[in-house]
Amino acid sequence: MIIDPDFQDGSETIVTVPMTLNQAEQLQGELSDLACWARGYNAALGNDDYDRRPMGTEGVTALNIALKRAIRKATEGKMK
């Protein structure tokens, strides 16, 4: 899944989640930690333990990337 309005066909409604830049940066860090934990957890499991793997890790990663993109867009003009 790619979460980016630029990849939509235009027929879908775009949803916005209002939050401050500080809140977005904090959430992005927490999503990174969660994704890192899930990758480590999965790595520690044996090959036959598919039923014990946490679900939704791809969605967490996609949301984290989208949030990083939004933070970058919000701060581009402020970094100069």
Side chain identity at residue 57, one-letter code? T
Looking at per-residue confidence, does 12 or 2 come out higher?
12
- Whether the per-residue pLDDT at 17 is higher than 60: the answer is yes
Does residue 11 lie in a domain region? no
Does residue 71 lie in a domain region? yes
Does residue 21 lie in a domain region? no
Does residue 39 lie in a domain region? yes
Dist. CA 60–CA 9, nearest whole Å? 23
Based on the structure, what is the number of domains in the chain? Answer: 1
Contact at 8 Å (CB) between 63 and 3? yes
Does residue 30 lie in a domain region? yes
- Whether the per-residue pLDDT at 16 is higher than 60: the answer is yes
Contact at 8 Å (CB) between 75 and 16? no
Dist. CA 59–CA 8, nearest whole Å? 17
Convert the pLDDT of each residue in 20-78 to its tens digit. Answer: 999 999 999 999 999 999 999 988 987 888 788 888 888 999 999 999 999 999 998 77
Dist. CA 26–CA 60, nearest whole Å? 15
The domain containing residue 32 runs over which residues? 26-80
pTM of the model: 0.77
pLDDT of residue 79: 59
Does residue 5 lie in a domain region? no
Does residue 34 lie in a domain region? yes
Does residue 4 lie in a domain region? no
Burial class (CB in 10 A: 0-12, 13-18, 19+), 69: middle
